[in-house]
Structure 1
Amino acid sequence: MEVLGTHWLHRIIARIPPLTVYEGQDTRTGTPVMVLKGTEGRPLEGPALLPFLEALEDAWVLEWPLGAVPLSHYLGVADLERLAVWVRAMAQALKDLEAQGVAYAPRAELCLVKGRRVWLAGAGLKALEGDGRQALLELAKALAGGRFEEFPLREALERGDLEALLAPQEAASEALPQEPPPEEPKKRPLPVEEEAPPEPPKAEPPPPSPSRPKVIRIEEKDEPPFPVVEPKNPGRRRILWLLPLLLVLLGLFLFRPRPQGQGPYAVEFRTEPPSEKAEVYLLEAPPGSRLQPGTLLLTAPGRAEVDAPGVYRLRIRVPGRDPVDYLLEVPGPPLTIRVR
């Protein structure tokens, strides 16, 4: 392991002659950093750029946000919805750099992501100068893989139109031509026929007179002239008073607040091809989770359970291949591990 100043250099992320990029760590604080050796240029600052920490001899030290991973981990497997968020963020950063007269071509190894956040590294270096719009198109193709034709921002990327990438979706939908309202069918007059006058009602014959007069009998009832009120059962009254209390207690039990971290949340892991096996380790858990880092969650394919929602940082190990770090958002769709 190399040491540069007060920083350990763990591994090489990318080589772009004369530039070499390392994943490092501060020996004093233990925080992760990105070290760029062979730098030539001036460091820039911006909301979408990795914060600049210090300049060493022929090297820059940049801050590495906790939990962030390089975009190269998502090559060919990126979710299209989240990829659209990343592309818009990088398009805004490229537009800001172009306004400063800086030509910067982003690389997958030098772009860090965490959830929906994106950070670019090395803006201002001569080794990373290039056509940013063409580089953004190639980067989106590599991340989407075979699904790039389905990517909603594909046409704007191919045109290199940063304004179209940054336009809100509502404005784009309003710009579409509206179809004219359908014409109402014309009403045709219906022929009117005169109705014949109604026939006069026939006179009904008078009812026959009764042969015998009706007899009306008046009898007295056997019931008393006043209502008899029976005393109510005291046991039934107690039950009626207890029913509202039971309903209140039942409602409090059903709607009681659950303690934070209660789950579980099931996460399904798949492998492609299904015959491959992959070990999934936990590196970092969200606030509220009781899972310990370094825990083996499962051997995929299969299903694991976590105890809190949020973003989990995982490390996936496949025999014979380098481990890959991945940020998993829970709850979410099943994760497919493609072994190439």
Structure 2
Amino acid sequence: MNHIGPYLLNRIRAREGAIEIWEGQDTVTGTPVLVYRPLEGAAPSFRIQGTLNWQGREDDAWIAELPFGAVPLTQLRGEVSPHELTAWTRRLLGALLEMKALGLEHGRLDTERLWVKGDEVWIEGVGLPVPVRAADETALVEALREAAGDTWPGWPFHRVMEQLAEGAVDLREAAEYLADPRSLSELEALAEDADEEPEAPLEPPETGTVRVLGRPEAPPAPAEEAEPPEPPAPTPPPEPPAPEPAPQEAPLFPPEPDRAPPSTAAGAADEEREAAGHVEPRPTDPSRVVRIDEVSEPAFEVIEPRGAPTAGDRRWLLRAGVLVLVVLLAVAVVRWKGRAPATGAAEGYAVEFRVEPPDGRAELVLLDAPEASQLVRGRVLAIIPGKVYFDAPGVYRIQIRAEGYLPQEKLLNVPPSARTVTVRLGP
């Protein structure tokens, strides 16, 4: 193994002409790095979001730091979801825009030069003094298409990126398309609708009132159907003023206001008709209608029986009942959680890892796994000490990394005989 200062060189990853790209590790912090050698002069000092930052120069090499757990995009070929593809594309377009503003061009973008971790993505080797092979826009689209595989046609933004590679849209327009959550087909449909400019229908005002634009006049009735107007009713002659009655003494029991006292002559005539057995119907005035009003108040005072709960008592009883129900529900939830099995445990084969000294911490990286395992190689599997779950039995090749210690590789047989693996951090 080679050493350059505090960096340990593991293997050559790629070559760019006379420049060798090594995978390495900081022996002090355990941070993974990329070492480019031989190179002259100082490493670039720019800081661009979405690119691997240069840490400086060591002897004849430039050093770039890798984020923990980042892997090349080529390892995820065919396993990329549309959500990850959209997040990576937005970040990469932003990084290319910033590079263009600084007059930088990568020229060698491919799936080996893009490192990803979750929704994050980084471009490797920006600023290397090497010739340009292809335009960054075209190379970026080809790298994303290769990583997406069969999911590329179903990605909503694949048409935008294809037009970016063809030069139909520029880099800034593509970034704006992906920043707005609308596909290019929707934008084109909106543009076609704007060209047609249909007349907007009249809508009622927002206040809810109805505007009456015009009311058609009623057509005149035909001549034969028109009825002749009724002659005006003759005006009745004015009645002579009634003579004022002589003042009388007020009766002891005055008549009710709703019932007028019957006249003596009219009452005698009615009695004679009833005695003769002939009663004529009285004419009814249609303007006077008998109305029956329902009385909402009782005719007598209602007295509640003694001991009946008042409105205040009922309110307190309701609150007490709600409080009791809440307490019972809380007790039931606590008992259910106490009896329910722990759902955080993953299914598989559990292996207990211990670290000595007890306060030590280390990362467990999966390098190789059996064919039946679905775990992703090259990623950090867990932070130990603690339980680590493996999804299939067999032999796993793992690497243990700890800050301040050299990484160690180990072959682990799952399930192990002792069920406990002890990692000792020592000189």
Q: Normalising by structure 1, report the TM-score.
A: 0.59
SS of alignment partner, residue 80 of structure 2: coil
CA distance, structure 1, for counterparts of residue 6 and residue 175 of structure 2: 40
Which is richer in strand? 1
**Residue-by-residue CA offset, 1:70-108 (whole Å, 9 max, x unaligned):** 222222332233223222322222233233333212232
CA distance, structure 1, for counterparts of residue 387 and residue 143 of structure 2: 32
Aligned partner of 2:121 in structure 1 is 118
Aligned partner of 2:254 in structure 1 is none
Deviation of 1:27 (Å): 0.8
What letter corresponds to residue 229 of structure 1 in structure 2? P
**Residue-by-residue CA offset, 1:30-69 (whole Å, 9 max, x unaligned):** 1222222344676332223212223123321111112322
Q: Of the candidates 89, 107, 111, which is equivalent to residue 108 of structure 1?
A: 111
Is residue 298 of structure 2 the alignment partner of residue 295 of structure 1?
no
Deviation of 1:139 (Å): 1.0
CA distance, structure 2, for counterparts of residue 78 and residue 39 of structure 1: 35
CA distance, structure 2, for counterparts of residue 252 and residue 137 of structure 1: 55
Q: 1:38 to 1:193 in 2, by over 3 A?
A: farther
Deviation of 1:264 (Å): 4.0
Between Structure 1 and Structure 2, whose CA radius of gyration is higher?
2
Q: 1:39 to 1:294 in 2, by over 3 A?
A: farther
Deviation of 1:119 (Å): 1.8
Aligned partner of 1:84 in structure 2 is 86
SS of alignment partner, residue 375 of structure 2: strand
What letter corresponds to residue 148 of structure 1 in structure 2? W
* Range that drifts further, 152-161 or 29-38: 152-161
Q: Which runs of 5+ in 2 are unaligned?
A: 203-213, 228-279, 283-300, 348-370, 394-427
Structure 1 contact 97–103 (Cα < 8 Å) conserved: yes
Q: Of the candidates 133, 138, 152, which is equivalent to residue 142 of structure 2?
A: 138
Aligned partner of 1:63 in structure 2 is 65
Q: Of the candidates 160, 164, 174, which is equivalent to residue 157 of structure 1?
A: 164
SS of alignment partner, residue 277 of structure 1: coil
Is residue 380 of structure 2 the alignment partner of residue 283 of structure 1?
yes
Aligned partner of 2:305 in structure 1 is 229
SS of alignment partner, residue 103 of structure 1: coil
What letter corresponds to residue 389 of structure 2 in structure 1? T
Structure 1 contact 41–124 (Cα < 8 Å) conserved: no
Aligned partner of 1:312 in structure 2 is none
Aligned partner of 1:169 in structure 2 is 180
Aligned partner of 1:46 in structure 2 is 47
Deviation of 1:123 (Å): 1.2
Q: 1:90 to 1:176 in 2, by over 3 A?
A: same
CA distance, structure 1, for counterparts of residue 392 and residue 321 of structure 2: 52
CA distance, structure 2, for counterparts of residue 90 and residue 244 of structure 1: 56
Q: Normalising by structure 2, report the TM-score.
A: 0.48
SS of alignment partner, residue 152 of structure 2: helix
Q: Which runs of 5+ in 1 are unaligned?
A: 198-204, 208-224, 268-275, 301-340
**Residue-by-residue CA offset, 1:172-230 (whole Å, 9 max, x unaligned):** 74973435446769x9x899695998xxxxxxx969xxxxxxxxxxxxxxxxx996825
What letter corresponds to residue 163 of structure 1 in structure 2? R
Aligned partner of 1:20 in structure 2 is 20
Structure 1 contact 68–114 (Cα < 8 Å) conserved: yes
Deviation of 1:136 (Å): 1.1
Deviation of 1:243 (Å): 0.7
Structure 2 contact 161–174 (Cα < 8 Å) conserved: no
CA distance, structure 2, for counterparts of residue 241 and residue 291 of structure 1: 50
SS of alignment partner, residue 149 of structure 1: coil
**Residue-by-residue CA offset, 1:126-158 (whole Å, 9 max, x unaligned):** 236342222212212211223333441333332
RMSD: 4.7
The number of aligned residues is 260
SS of alignment partner, residue 30 of structure 2: coil
**Residue-by-residue CA offset, 1:281-338 (whole Å, 9 max, x unaligned):** 783569xxx9947531x239xxxxxxxxxxxxxxxxxxxxxxxxxxxxxxxxxxxxxx
Aligned partner of 1:247 in structure 2 is 325
CA distance, structure 2, for counterparts of residue 165 and residue 299 of structure 1: 44
Q: 1:88 to 1:182 in 2, by over 3 A?
A: same
Structure 1 contact 91–162 (Cα < 8 Å) conserved: yes
**Residue-by-residue CA offset, 1:241-267 (whole Å, 9 max, x unaligned):** 6413213435767999x9xxx964989
Deviation of 1:26 (Å): 0.8
